[in-house]
Every structure is written in structure tokens, then in C-alpha cells.
Amino acid sequence: MRSTRALRAAMIGSAALLLLAPAFAHAAPATPAPAAALPEDLVAAVKRDLGLSAEEYLTKADAGQKLVAFANEMRTRFPDVFAGAWLDPAGKPLVGLADGTDTDAARKAVEDAGYTVKDLPRSERALEDQLTQAQKWISTLPEPLAGLVGGAAVDVVNNNLVLRVSNTVEVGGFQVPDFLEGAVLALQPALGSVAPVADNGGAPDDALFGGDSYAAENAEGAFRCSLGFNGVDGSGATVNISAGHCDPNHGAPGSKVFQMPADGVFGPQIGTFKRTNLDGLDFSIIDIEDSADHRFQNNLVRVPGRSPLHITGTADPVVGAPVCKSGLTTGFTCGTINAVNQTVGVGARVLRGGFSANICALQGDSGGTIVTGDRALGISSASNVADLKFCEVATVITTIVGDSPQLFATPINAIIGANPGLKVRTS
């Protein structure tokens, strides 16, 4: 979802100092923030895309994080029968259990916690074993089959495996090995990563927040992405956490990052890519220039140029949870998580351990922030509608092929885990 060349122009503007002194935290708050704390643009996106009020959105997001914590306990205590946990469309938490020697004890634990049991044929462990087999099978496929299967994921709600295949595959005639019998084939358009952005929508020349625009250069030109979460690294230096594929030099030393207040207009240099990771987890750590340090000392996320959201902590993805992303092209768009811990191919790279949600994201939105409630959840990486210009068109086209817009993302807590000492700015 990175945009192509933008011509270098005059240096733009300086910044006003934000009088914020946010703390740093990883843990999610015990109770959701008041709905009044959400910016109008996010409230409008939640209502438009999810059909939820601000209060319902925050309540459902908080329920998702409580369910994640309970699921982790169940996964440890009852590994042979635990079959996943998710929120249903109404926001009701469900916990899947398979048949086994510990089923009765697990059922009691679920019910004592106030959750509802969903009886399922296979445990999460059994599905994960099948997923591992599927990934090994995909890695050994000969040409031309190798280019047709983009990855696999566990569908926790339907207790099944999903193979993501190219939209050139004729589903009825595609043969899978016996151990994948019953797996669902999900068609997906090609995952674009480089195409022009039609309209930047404008970006301010003061302090920079998650969702604002930036550009990076290589010998061929400049590429535009969205800033991710502001933070600090293990040494206490100010950084921004964005997408790895937004670095046009693919991790080579010295890739400079510039503010881009409008399409084709460069502002001052604001940083340098300090670390770039392309395969597996797609992320980058942007080391902020001393001259721009004060511009990133905030915990804010927004639609470029509009009122911001204050990030209060980090969160983990769970199927059914409501999520919203911010990016320079499409602003706030929202959806529901439909897969976690999945593998998907995007061109020459493979994303692992990510999650997906039915969110529209277009060229330029890469690297931007994904939140659930008011907590940092992930970084935008790839979209099945990235090459289109409007979300309305994307929805129509994907509906025709029996799909929906899908955003693939890297969990923020996975990025933090891969970078000791890294913290997201929170309040």
C-alpha cells in the first residue's frame, strides 16, 4: 500500500511544540475510556462501518481484550480441548471446546468466568498442527502452483482452515492433499504494494501523529506512507513505529524519512529508518531527528489534519473485535478482525503471525495505525484492494468475487516483543 514517485520540492514549515508529557505502558486499562474522548472522525467511521455507537465500540473493544486474557489462561490450562475464543457479531464472548478428558473441567472454568461454551469438533492445538502441515505443503509447491496459494489461516469461528488462493484459481478443480480435506478456499485479489495515491488530503506542518504522511527516497524516486505509533526505543530515543515495506531501500543504511505535507511536496527530514523488517513481521523503526524530536513526543493518532485520539495502552487481536485504522489516504475506516496468527504471501515477501480485518485500506495507508477502542493494536501492511482509488469501488468489486476489503496487519505487541525496550507512547 505504498505509493509511488513524488517529486522533491521545497522544504516546508516547522512545528509547534506539543505540551504533552505522556507516560509509557504496555498493559491495557481495566475499563474503557469515555466515549467523549473519541474524535468525531473516528466516531463517524465506527457508526458508518460497524453500525456501533461510540459507547458500544469501546465496550466491545474492552470485552475483546478481557477475552484475550481469559483465552490465554485456557490455552495454558486446557491445551488439548481449548478450541479458541471470539466475539460473535453481537459482541457476545464465546469460548470453543473440543471433546477430551479435560472437557468437563474446561467447561466449568468457562462458565464460572461468565462466558458461553461453543462445542466444536477440533481443538486449537489440532487446527494449529494442521496449519503447520499446510504451510509446509505450500512451501514445497512446484511452479505454477506455488504462485497460486498465498497462505493459510485458522478460522476459529468455523473451526476450520482457510487457504488464501489467487483469484485465477478455479475453486472446484483445485486439488488439495487429503490432510487438508474440508479446508475452505478463499479467493483474494492480488495484494498490491506500489501504486500512485490519488489525493493526500493534506497534512499539517506542526506536530506529527499516527496516520500523518511521510516519504522516503531511493534512486528511483520517493515513496509515501503513513506514520505509525509514536514511541521510544530501548535507549530512550524518540521513534515512530511504521511498516517495513515503506523503506524503499529495504533496510540498507541511511534511508532518510521526510515530512510530506502534500502529494509531491517534501518537508524537512524528520528521521532515518533505524530498523526495517520485511518478512514475517512487517515493521520499521524510524529514528527521529533531534530537530524534530519534540514533534513526536505525543501519543496521538488521527485522520491527517483532524482531531486526534489519545492512545492509552496496547492490545492483542482477537477474532470478532472491532478495529479501526488511520491512514493518509482513507482516514479512519473500521471493521472486525476475522483471522489471527495467519500467514499470507504478498509478492515476494511472506507475512507471518499477523491478523486481518474487513477494513478498506488503499495506497498510502501502509504503516498507519490500527486501534481497538483507544489502544494500539497493529500496523497496516497490505490490502487486497490497495490498487483501487476509492473504498466504495473496492467494496463493490470484492463483493462480486464473494469477498470483502481485507487489511492485513502486524500486531504491535509482536513488534514490541521483537525490539527489547521499545514502547508505544501512551497516556
Catalytic residues: 245, 282, 366
User: Side chain identity at 55, as an amino acid letter?
Assistant: E
Distances (CA, A) of 73 to 70, 82, 126: 5, 10, 18
Q: Contact at 8 Å (CB) between 259 and 208?
A: yes
Cell numbers given for 257 = 524519512
Q: What spatial distance separates the first Cα and last Cα of the chain, rounded to whole Å?
A: 30
**Cis, peptide link before residue 144, omega less than 30° from 0:** yes
- Residue indicated by cell numbers 520499521: 284
The strand pairing partners of 284, in sequence order, are 242, 276
Residue 140, C-beta contacts closer than 8 angstroms, at least 6 positions apart: none
Kindly state the greatest CA–CA separation across the chain: 69
Distances (CA, A) of 6 to 2, 108, 219, 337, 415: 12, 60, 12, 33, 29
Cell numbers given for 190 = 492480488
Q: Contact at 8 Å (CB) between 257 and 284?
A: no
Residue 58, C-beta contacts closer than 8 angstroms, at least 6 positions apart: 32, 33, 35, 38, 373, 374
Q: Contact at 8 Å (CB) between 27 and 55?
A: no
3-class SS at 228? Answer: coil
3-class SS at 325? Answer: strand
3-class SS at 63? Answer: helix
Q: Contact at 8 Å (CB) between 290 and 272?
A: no
Handedness of CA 107, 113, 116, 120 (dihedral sign): negative
Distances (CA, A) of 416 to 26, 230, 281: 9, 12, 11
Distances (CA, A) of 184 to 38, 242, 367, 384: 38, 32, 30, 18
Q: Contact at 8 Å (CB) between 206 and 295?
A: yes
Burial (0-12, 13-18, 19+ Cβ within 10 Å), 87: buried
